[in-house]
Chains A and B, each alone.
Chain A
Amino acid sequence: MMRKWIILAVLLLVVLAGGIPLYIHRNFKEEVVAGEGVTGFFKLSKYFSGIEGTIADTDVFELKGSEEGGKMLIIAGTHESEPSAALAAFYLIENLKVDRGTVYIIPHFNRSGSLGTQPGGGFPLYFSMETPWGEKTFRMGDRGFQALDQWPDPDVYIHYPEGQAMSYIDARNTNRAWPGRPDGLYAEQVTYAAMEMIKKEKIDIVIDLHEAEAMYPVTNCIVVPEKSMSYATGASFYVKGREKFENHVERSPTAFRGLSHREIGDWSDAYPFLLESPGVHLDQITAAKTPELIMDGIDPFVLKAAEKGLLFVPYDENGFSMDRRVGQHSSVIQEIVVQWSKKNPERGLTISAPRYKEIVDNGLGYFFKDPSKADKSDVYLQ
């Protein structure tokens, strides 16, 4: 009898030891201080009430300029294991100035994915960065919706409406669920809500922020359908030429369904752009997946792969830091807006924020405000 109690107690301890940190992580709040550009804040369920009060609902920040113009939606956290996306969103919420047009920013599009790390992936629960006022901590997330929130997975995921058969795991992938449907899985409902927003707000530009492995060819790039090609080409051309970081354009395949850069363009008047920066922590060959690896992107095995010519990005012992990844996102977004506004002056936007060099020179942490010193009404918990 005693032995049974001991076994039960040990099991309970194991469950608690494993579960409590996950519970704390799931309830940990990131703080973002709204910058002077923020003019509004609402839930995505404003456009589709079906997700109201569910894990699929998420926050939208509005930055409206004093002059009417075009509209841009920036989506971060489609894949929450690619953290430079959410950090770029936080950075823009705190620093972006909008003089003309309107910019909407969703920092955690896949909110469920932001509340837990990839099971078995060996990722830390948190990572931090230095700022002038102390350490700022963020949650590390998962690629897809958490199984805790969307379960069970189907044997085969059938994309709606094209009927393309995909891996069961993609049922939880918000970048295989576009354009979504109101009565589908959560991943399909959140993309449906975003499509409703894009159509109702007459969004011109949709940016979907990502990171990709250094060993994967679709990285350091802008992925676009045909309609967005000339803008992406111009943006890539100028950031590469003037700001001296690697960037190229990849075509969105027409036969691969569910992707933002394919479906948003096909199902709305908006021009989609998916931005990839190199997140070395995503490569399978790395040493331990530490918080430092997420931040500095320095890894000896990736370096070895670089020496053997196996990477698709320039890589040396300095790694590929979060400063560079967020800096690239900032510059590419701004250059896309320049290219767009040049060709569509009546729907143009005028925006500004520090770009690649300034972010790399100062460090990303320099640009985040101290929540303890900010007006409480400006601090948003994510």
Chain B
Amino acid sequence: MKKVILVLVAISVVTLALATTDVKLGLPLAITSAGQSAEVETVNYVADEVGLKYDYCDILSKDEFAAGVGLADAKSGIGKHVTTLSPDPKGTKFQTLILVVGADLKGMGASGLSVDSEVARLKNLIEYAKANGIKIVAVAIGGEIRRGLPGSPNEVMIDTVIPSADIFVFTSDSNKDGRFSNEAKARNVPAVEIESAFDLLDTFTTIFGL
């Protein structure tokens, strides 16, 4: 029985990996948090390491997102952090939006957000992305500490993001219950399961064709 389970797991991992070979995401890229956990910093860090240019705002608004590259000259301030690295001309429409899933009440509090207002912000971004053909990448690399009981802040963020994601990237320890892989399978969208955030180095290189 154990062998059968191992074979099934191996097949599912291979299937997930195969699904990613066709995935090529376009630039410019916008990155924001979905829940204000520190994992978004890891995603930015990996992007820097592999030379992936992006525009980032932790509390990106729909208007800033819609303004394209340069995020309408958004500035960092208390509870708001902005980095604009995209080389494209200001105003160029984004091709891809990365939402890094993970709820952190400290992070939300520091940005003056509640779970409800964070969800509202994400829904606006998702609505705009869908209306404008922008690919949404859901990234979950926080592991078990960024999961919780149904209705908990972490799960609320996941509930908000995953129905609209065009591709999933998640660590195995974030997906112990199969939440992300099952959603990807049910909607027939690509999923990349990685062992740890460290594997994002290869994943980003592949899916962004670097």
Residues of A near any B CB (own CB < 8 A): 217, 226, 229-230, 233-234, 236-238, 240-242, 246, 248-251, 253-255, 312
Q: Is B41 an interface residue (CB 8 A)?
A: yes
* Cross-interface CB contact of B104 among A226, A236, A251, cutoff 8 Å: A251
Q: State whether A237 and B109 are in contact (beta carbons under 8 Å apart), knowing that A230-B41, A249-B38 are contacts in the complex.
A: no
From A238, A240, A248, A253, residue with most partner B Cβ within 10 Å: A248
A-B contact count (CB 8 A): 50
A254/B110 in contact, CB under 8 A: yes
Whether B38 contacts A248 by the Cβ 8 Å rule is yes
Q: State which of B106, B110, B198 has its C-beta within 8 Å of the C-beta of A237.
A: B198
Docked Cα-Cα span, A246 to B142, in Å, equals 11
Mask of B90-117 contacts with A, CB within 8 angstroms, 1/0? 0000000000000010110110000000
Residues 68 to 90 of chain B near chain A (Cβ within 8 Å): 81
Q: A217-B145, A237-B197, A240-B198 are in contact. Are A250 and B38 (CB under 8 A)?
A: yes
Q: Does B196 contact A (CB under 8 A)?
A: yes
Given contacts A229-B38, A234-B45, A248-B145, contact A253 B109 (CB under 8 A): yes
Bound: A242/B196 CA distance, A: 10
Contact status A242-B198, CB under 8 Å: yes
Say whether B45 contacts A251, CB under 8 Å. Answer: no
**CB of B181, distance to nearest CB on chain A (Å):** 20
What are 12 A-B residue pairs whose CB atoms fall within 8 Å in the complex?
A: A233-B38, A233-B45, A236-B42, A241-B197, A241-B199, A248-B142, A248-B145, A249-B41, A251-B106, A251-B107, A253-B106, A255-B109
Question: What is the CB-to-nearest-CB distance from A221 to chain B, in angstroms, rounded to a whole number?
Answer: 9
- Residues of chain B contacted by A229 (CB below 8 angstroms): 38, 41
- Are B196 and A312 in touch, CB under 8 angstroms? no
What residues make up the interface of B, taking CB atoms closer than 8 Å to A?
A: 38-39, 41-42, 44-46, 81, 104, 106-107, 109-110, 142-145, 196-199
A236 neighbours in B (Cβ, 8 Å): 42
Q: Is the interface of B mostly helix, strand, loop or mixed?
A: helix
CA distance A226 to B104 in the complex (A): 15
Complexed CA–CA distance, A237 and B197 (Å): 7
Distance of A24 Cα from B135 Cα, bound (Å) = 68
Residues of the B chain whose Cβ atoms lie less than 8 Å from the Cβ of A240: 196-198
Assembly CA distance A36 to B42 (angstroms): 36
Closest Cβ of chain B to A229, distance in Å, is 6
Q: Which residue of B lies closest to A309 (CB)?
A: B144
What distance in Å separates the Cβ of B201 from its nearest Cβ neighbour in chain A?
Answer: 8
- Interfacial chain A residues near B42, Cβ < 8 Å: 233, 236-237, 249
Shortest Cβ distance from B87 into chain A, in angstroms? 21
Q: Are A251 and B198 within 8 A (Cβ)?
A: no
For B81, the chain A residues whose CB sits under 8 A away are: 226
B22 to nearest A CB, angstroms? 26
Interface centre among A229, A250, A251 (most CB of B within 10 A): A251
With A248-B38, A249-B38 in contact, is A237–B45 under 8 Å at CB? yes
Min CB gap A231→B, angstroms? 10
Q: A237–B38 contact, CB under 8 A?
A: no
List the A side residues contacting B104 at CB < 8 Å. Answer: 251
Given contacts A237-B197, A242-B198, A312-B145, contact A253 B41 (CB under 8 A): no
Q: Which of A246, A251, A312 contacts B110 (CB 8 A)?
A: A251
Q: Which residue of B lies closest to A246 (CB)?
A: B143
What are the 3 closest A-B residue pairs judged by CB atoms, nearest first?
A241-B198, A233-B41, A249-B38
Closest beta carbon of chain B to A225's beta carbon, Å: 10
Q: How far is the CB of B123 from the nearest CB of chain A, in Å?
A: 24
